[in-house]
Structure 1
Amino acid sequence: MSSSIFTTVSNTILKPNQNPLLQINSPFTKRVSCTRRSTSLTTTRALLSTTKEIVLKDFQQRRALKIISGLQNLDRDNVASVVTAADKGGATHVDIACDAELVRLATTLTALPICVSSVDPTAFPAAVEAGALMVEIGNYDSFYEMGLTFSPEQILHLTKETRRILPSIALSVTVPHTLSLPDQVKLAEQLEEAGADIIQTEGGKCSNPSKAGILGLIEKATPTLAAAYSISRAVRIPVMCSSGLSSVTAPMAITAGAAGVGVGSAVNKLNDVVAMIAEVKSIAESLNLSTVGGNVFQQNNLRL
């Protein structure tokens, strides 16, 4: 019997006690219930798959620009300004702290895909339920400032646990700059095997430019550019180059092999939203991103 017939029968005006086929414990009713669950699950999986494809599309086209407010930045006003700047400045994604209330705030300000960052996989589901369409294990800068670092084993465990909890969500994982370049490449390969969709690089915090101006900007970006170059040639999934980038060095990241760039302090440390928008626009223009018509999410206002 087809699922459409099951649905038709289950929607008849007969009450269960009037039709033995629809009694609660009958085999037929159990089959109806199983069919409905199966259909619902199939529909949900298809929707999640489609959403994930759209979230990753800009990476696959090597044109992603993610603006980052900070893993431990819970300042609603600052986060709102960063999200607004990402939306108005031409970014393709925005990354905020893994907090459901912040996610709900962000969804009122933009139709861009919202990524949430954390090192606690159990914190992701609530943020996803609130509207986040991508999760990130990374943005470790605030932990480095506290003297904390993450080993390859720890990051691999966090990745596997996140993928177990959220098998269908777009997952980005940062490879720490505290590892040697060969070890970063090795970890990236393991993360790809563990189910990561994007590898993110970092390095700005470990760079101490000796020059001012453009030379200093290039010096600051060198570690993350080197990581993007090496990792992008070792994995098949997109690599996002992040940390220490600017409108000067963002195009270099794409040339080095990155599928997109992540920008944090260059935007979130500015004093007002106007300056933030101007900075995002400058970076977007350096990547030749057009804001006309917006991205796929702005066009369709897609939400789960």
Structure 2
Amino acid sequence: MSIELFRKHLTEKRAVKVIAGIDNFDIENIKKVVMSAQESGASAVDICAKPEIISEIREMTDMPIFVSSIVPSELVKAVELGADAIELGNFDVLYKKGISFSAEQVLSLVNETLDMLGDTRVFFSVTIPGELPIAEQIELARKLETMGIDLIQTEGHFSSSNISEGARGLMERAELTLSNTIELSRNIDMPIMTATAINPTTAPFAFAAGASAIGCGSCINKMDSTLSMMATTRSLVEIASRNAQKVVELV
């Protein structure tokens, strides 16, 4: 199995990426997340850039592996270790420290990564910082499109502390990432993955907003048991499959 499975699901607007977490270094938790994703028919998993973890997960699964980092050299190393795709983004680790991210910084890091990759071709996804004004997000996405980036990921994170706690906060973040997805899907041709606060309740709205893929993390990786992880992942895969069927019926 290779990135072609993910590409196929992306084209069919049914891709589900299960996110272990950019700053999750708990190998036992990551293994449970990966096993759940594999057994449930998810399209890909997304893990941290720690070399030992990449190698161990590569040995245990042949499903497409994304590796996330904000450090270009780590992304290049991940490809050498067998990653099928790289993700510049999942900026959570920065937001937790109160650090925001500009469009210029994203472009600079993407260029640096592409330069370091040289002639090596790999599926490249980039997160669009959710707190940027939507006009800047669209401009950034268009520039990334011309650079040959394969996928953009929307998010619903703020670097400020204005977000609410609990269920209200979850819905506020979902609302932000969904509105970003709607605006971006109207203005670019590149496929979009909607992430942040995506769960079985919000996933249908992501596809309705124009997403070709969903990125799901905390609704899976925070669970205690593999069975619970699998049940949630299966639910998300079923939602994605129903969306693909709707797309076929509309064509």
State how far apart, in whole Å, the 1-side matches of 2:29 and 2:165 are: 31
Q: For residue 176 of structure 2, give the secondary structure of its aligned residue in structure 1.
A: helix
CA 1:148–1:236: 2 relative to 1, 3 Å: same
- The residue number in structure 1 matching 2:18 is 67
- The residue number in structure 2 matching 1:247 is 200
Q: For residue 178 of structure 2, give the secondary structure of its aligned residue in structure 1.
A: helix
Question: Is contact 2:13–2:240 with CA below 8 Å preserved after alignment?
Answer: no
Shift of 1:165: 2.4
Pick one of 79, 82, 104 that aligns with 2:30: 79
Residues 41-190 of structure 1 aligned to structure 2 (within 5 Å) = 53-166=4-117, 167-190=120-143
Shift of 1:205: 5.7
- The residue number in structure 1 matching 2:218 is 265
Identity of aligned residues (%): 38
Question: Is contact 2:181–2:211 with CA below 8 Å preserved after alignment?
Answer: yes
Question: Is contact 1:232–1:258 with CA below 8 Å preserved after alignment?
Answer: yes
Larger Rg: 1
Indicate yes or no: 2:186 matched with 1:233: yes
The one of the two structures with greater contact order (alpha-carbon pairs below 8 A, sep at least 6) is 2
State how far apart, in whole Å, the 2-side matches of 1:205 and 1:178 are: 6
- Structure 2 residue runs of 5 or longer lacking an equivalent are 243-251
User: What residue identity is the alignment partner of 1:184?
Assistant: Q
State how far apart, in whole Å, the 2-side matches of 1:259 and 1:64 are: 6
Q: For residue 270 of structure 1, give the secondary structure of its aligned residue in structure 2.
A: coil
State how far apart, in whole Å, the 1-side matches of 2:100 and 2:77 are: 26
Question: Is contact 1:114–1:133 with CA below 8 Å preserved after alignment?
Answer: yes
Shift of 1:90: 2.1
Shift of 1:55: 4.0
State how far apart, in whole Å, the 2-side matches of 1:161 and 1:55 are: 25
TM-score, scaled to structure 1: 0.72
Q: How many residues align?
A: 239
State how far apart, in whole Å, the 2-side matches of 1:126 and 1:189 are: 27
**Large movers: runs of 4+ above 6 Å:** none
TM-score, scaled to structure 2: 0.87
Pick one of 221, 236, 251 that aligns with 1:283: 236
Shift of 1:208: 4.3
- Structure 1 residue runs of 5 or longer lacking an equivalent are 1-50, 290-304
CA 1:55–1:284: 2 relative to 1, 3 Å: closer
User: What residue identity is the alignment partner of 1:261?
Assistant: I
